[in-house]
Chain A
Amino acid sequence: MKRNVAIIGGGQTYHKARRHDVDQAELVNEAVRAALADADMTIDEIDLVLLGNMEFFEGVHMTDCWLVHGTGAYGRPGLKITTGGTVGATMVCAGIHHVASGLFDKVLCIGFEKQEEGDTGAILSGVAHPLWGRSMAGAAVGYFAMMGSSYMAAWGAKEEHSAMVAVKARQNARKNKYAHLKLDITIEDALNSRMLSYPIRMLDMCPASNGACAVILADEKTAQKRSKKPVWFRAMDTAHNEQFELDWRDVKTERPIFSKVCASRMYKKLGVTNPAEHFDVFEIYEPATWAELVWYEDLGLCGPGEGFKMIEKGMTNIDGPIPVNPSGGVLSTNCIGASAMLRIWEAALQIRGDAGEHQVPKEVRRAFTTAYGGTNWTVMTALSKTLDD
């Protein structure tokens, strides 16, 4: 990077199914104020404001314009970014570009979603090609169900394995005061939950959450001067897939799909050969249980077909050797426009040692995050405690 970039502050709202007590600007402002307080800054110090959410999920366009009072963008440069489920991470990457280039020193990135205000399934169907496949657009649940059936057929995993992911996420969420689904559930509960779309049951799927997250990025000089605990970005990358192709649904595919391509580019940039050893914690974007198992494999934390054995052995538990989503992840909280940013913010909290009850019980110096958006792309980041890590 031309200039080093750090997160010098961040904040999030409590995430819930109902937030009719606030409008969109009021919701966003909660996260913005939390981030400014965390960074010990005022809005006047911010050079650029980036805002993102899902297109039309709240029934309005140009949220950057009409939420100005909530975001703090009044009178200063700003951009709205909309890249689907990845948007929270895309905004952070855009923020990094703006700071690394030398054009801006302090950038505020905000992601939010008020899912309760729209019919997200109906709006998501607009992601499908209008003339080719939209009539069968099965929302996210049908897509991940196909991934699950493919995974079980390919590797001999059982529904019990997805249930283990469901339990890990919600038990971790119970330790995270901001999480939405804090459920004291067992594998049996997950296996007995209502079948939505075989093999996806109710507890295999993320909730529809309302919430917002904001982070403040700064250049090295500002970060060193202003922050006691800056968290540094070491690499970031984005990779897209092509629509209509065999992709994540076909877990045995040997095509260079988005997840594998992006991870290998990240590791190459960082000189990482063993990611499971190099990184102390992972925050990944798993809208469904099966996606978490596939991420393990695509990130190279294990070999192909071994993801379900990792969860079986508890390797990715909060106190395991490779903790994945100690926050509870997307399975516990999915306010989509904020979800990918929450991965990055949660990774930063782990590195700072500020995650509270869901702090990983080991030293965290390096963290890795993923994002996911349809029709299949990802944004990944790698963060560290110091510039030497």
Chain B
Amino acid sequence: MIKKTDEQISIPMVVDVPFEFAAGQYLSRALTELRDNGKFFGVKCPKCGRVQLPPRIVCAECHVKNEEWVELGLEGKLKAFTIMYLPLTDPTTGKPHNPPFVYGSVQLDGATSVLDHLVSMEPDLDKIWVGMRLRIILRPPQERIGDLSDILYFEPLPGQKKPA
């Protein structure tokens, strides 16, 4: 006779699965430019004219092939931001980012798309605002590996004041 029990069994497990992700024709070319020349490129749709970042073979809206490569500025405008108070894990390294830290969506000059990254600054609401200008700080050339970690962070351009 099996006896009824109130005990609830649950078993902890970790699933660790390796992947090797192909960047493809367009992203490989963009990441190579970033690694070797410290430059950002977008692709411009021949139909709608959106300059898309990261570069991709087809414009999603128009479904036509993107063929024009456009060099973007290393500066841009903050479109949205947050000050993060949670120790979120960086999924690419398994290590937590140290809170509090600022990150945001930046529209690089010349691009339609945004790029999300850390912003190196004090987590102070008086010093950060939507619309402020930022620039990209890259790793030194010899340390670049050809992925987005080649960007260390954005930093605010000096001499700006938060609009009243």
Contact = CB atoms under 8 A, between A and B. Distances in A.
A196 interface: yes
A305 to B, nearest CB: 14
Contacts of B107: 246
Nearest to A195: B85
Interface size class of A (residues with CB under 8 A): 35 or more
A198 interface: yes
Given A131-B27, A135-B148, A245-B113, A147 B80 contact: yes
Contacts of B123: 198
A254 interface: no
A249 B61 contact: no
B103 A142 contact: yes
B84 interface: yes
Nearest to A128: B91
Interface string B108-151: 00001111111000010100011100000000000000011100
Given A142-B103, A244-B113, A197 B91 contact: no
Contact of B105 (A131, A154, A246): A246
Contacts of B74: none
A248 to B, nearest CB: 10
Contact of A131 (B31, B53, B93, B115): B31
A303 interface: no
Interface in A116-158: 117, 121-122, 125-126, 128-139, 141-142, 145-150, 153-154
A132 B85 contact: no
Contacts of B54: 129, 132, 244
A122 B91 contact: yes
Interface string A140-179: 0110011111100110000000000000000000000000
A145 B113 contact: no
Interface in A190-248: 194-200, 242, 244-246
B125 A146 contact: no
A75 interface: no
B32 interface: no
A198 B79 contact: no
Interface of A: 20-21, 59, 117, 121-122, 125-126, 128-139, 141-142, 145-150, 153-154, 194-200, 242, 244-246, 249-250
5 nearest A-B residue pairs (beta carbon): A145-B82, A146-B80, A153-B130, A125-B91, A242-B60
